């Protein structure tokens, strides 16, 4: 009689099969439970850290986007052109392209930035412009004069490329004028122009404009009729001559070596190369940026200086808006601008 039978004979239950052969032991099962829980805790910590890290990166990304979308609050960035001690800086103010209201606002901001920096010991007004509107040119001229009077710091004009008409007008506000050898300057005078649309509207399109005025001179000159000799003389007396006389007076006042009669002889609208301009005292020196820098240091009484240039910092909104401006928006304001006569300090080829 085997063992099981013996147990049954004594009234004892039969023994279960040995766990060593039929499945994992109870001790092994108990060890597997803590190990499984440990891995769950580990991956939970990893997931939590990942969420925190991603949240932090999202906040940084939002901050970067907000910074580039709005730009710097002070509005301008400094780019170092020549190394030197920051306690003595020379700021380069740029006048580039057509002079208009937008150009004036840009120059105005640069001058104010330099005015608020106590480390700035002098200015260089870098001009590369064929001129533009009378009001824009005159306002830039006035702001440069005001800076010189209020701050008592030297201001040197540095001409590059083209500094003609309104570009030259702004330069005579400076203490001295340095021009590159290839500079074109001068063009002292006034230009008037507007479109005459009469033939286009009446003959080509069959449109007859109707203009009702309170007096015969109210619409002089008109884009809807040919200009008469009476109108031409009226424009000469009312627009051209006052602006022309103002230009000559500004040049004579800014160029001590030239009298008003001297300026009148030069103010026939002629352009001058750098050497010719130097010969007739329209400029003081032919040179490059480093020569203008030396002039400022000499007048400011400093030996070394850091030369900086102001520029617009990158702005996402500015980038997007500039892209949108590339599309032609022909609305009533644009039509008004095209049809309105303009009197300009502008050199036009």
Among 218, 238, 304, 334, the one annotated catalytic: 218
Cα distances from 95 to residues 3, 56, 118, 315, in angstroms, run: 112, 43, 23, 21
pLDDT tens-digit series, residues 229-262: 998 899 999 999 999 999 999 999 999 999 999 9
CA dist., res. 343 & res. 240, Å (int): 7
Tell me the chain's radius of gyration from C-alpha atoms: 39
Burial of 151 per CB tally in 10 Å (0-12, 13-18, 19+): middle
Checking if the pLDDT of 193 tops 60, the result is yes
Structural domain including 290 reads 77-193+268-313+333-346
| Known active-site residue 297 | no
Average pLDDT over the chain reads 81
Tokens representing 173? 């506000």
Choose one of 39, 54, 69: the last residue of a domain.
54
Claim to verify: residue 84 and residue 170 sit in the same structural domain? yes
Claim to verify: residue 23 and residue 91 sit in the same structural domain? no
Report pLDDT for 199.
65
* Entry pTM: 0.73
CA dist., res. 155 & res. 171, Å (int): 10
Give how many domains the chain has, as a whole number. 2
CA dist., res. 312 & res. 154, Å (int): 24
Claim to verify: residue 46 and residue 116 sit in the same structural domain? no
pLDDT tens-digit series, residues 327-341: 445 454 555 555 566
Report pLDDT for 330.
47
| Known active-site residue 218 | yes
Q: Report the CATH number that the domain containing residue 102 is assigned in CATH.
A: 3.90.226.10
Give the pairing type, strands 342-346 and 131-133. antiparallel
User: For the chain, how many residues are written?
Assistant: 349
Q: Tell whether 322 is covered by a domain.
A: no
Claim to verify: residue 43 and residue 168 sit in the same structural domain? no
Q: Tell whether 99 is covered by a domain.
A: yes
Percent of the chain with pLDDT over 90: 54
Among 137, 165, 171, 223, the one annotated catalytic: 165
Question: Rounded to the nearest 10 degrees, what angle do helices 134-151 and 101-115 cross at?
Answer: 10
pLDDT tens-digit series, residues 301-326: 999 999 999 987 755 545 444 444 44
**Planar angle of CA 176, 179, 181, nearest 5 degrees:** 150
Q: Tell whether 180 is covered by a domain.
A: yes
């Amino acid at each position: 009689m085997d063992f099981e039978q013996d147990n049954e004979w004594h009234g004892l239950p039969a023994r279960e099969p040995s766990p060593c052969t039929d499945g994992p032991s109870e001790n092994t099962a108990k060890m597997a439970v803590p190990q499984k829980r440990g891995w769950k805790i580990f991956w939970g910590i990893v997931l939590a850290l990942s969420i925190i890290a991603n949240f932090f990166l999202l906040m940084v990304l939002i901050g970067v986007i907000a910074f580039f979308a709005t730009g710097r609050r002070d509005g301008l960035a400094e780019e170092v052109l020549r190394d030197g001690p920051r306690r003595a800086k020379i700021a380069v103010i740029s006048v580039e392209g057509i002079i208009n209201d937008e150009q004036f606002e840009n120059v105005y901001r640069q001058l104010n930035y330099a005015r608020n920096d106590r480390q700035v010991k002098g200015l260089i007004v870098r001009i590369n412009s064929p001129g533009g509107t009378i009001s824009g040119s005159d306002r830039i001229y006035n702001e440069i004069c005001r800076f010189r009077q209020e701050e008592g710091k030297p201001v040197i004009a540095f001409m590059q490329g083209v500094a003609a008409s309104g570009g030259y007008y702004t330069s005579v506000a400076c203490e001295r004028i340095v021009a590159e050898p290839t500079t074109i300057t001068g063009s002292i005078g006034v230009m008037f122009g507007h479109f005459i649309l009469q033939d286009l509207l009446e003959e080509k399109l069959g449109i007859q404009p109707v203009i009702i005025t309170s007096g015969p001179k109210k619409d002089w000159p008109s884009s809807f009729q040919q200009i008469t000799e009476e109108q031409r003389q009226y424009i000469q007396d009312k627009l051209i001559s006052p602006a022309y006389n103002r230009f000559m007076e500004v040049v004579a006042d800014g160029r001590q070596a030239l009298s008003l009669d001297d300026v009148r002889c030069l103010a026939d609208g002629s352009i001058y190369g750098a050497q010719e301009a130097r010969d007739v005292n329209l400029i003081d020196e032919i040179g490059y940026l480093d020569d203008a820098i030396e002039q400022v240091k000499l007048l400011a009484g400093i030996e070394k200086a850091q030369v900086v240039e102001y520029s617009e910092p990158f702005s996402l909104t500015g980038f997007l808006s500039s892209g949108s401006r590339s599309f032609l928006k022909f609305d009533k304001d644009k039509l008004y601008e095209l049809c309105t006569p303009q009197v300009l300090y502008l050199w036009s080829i």
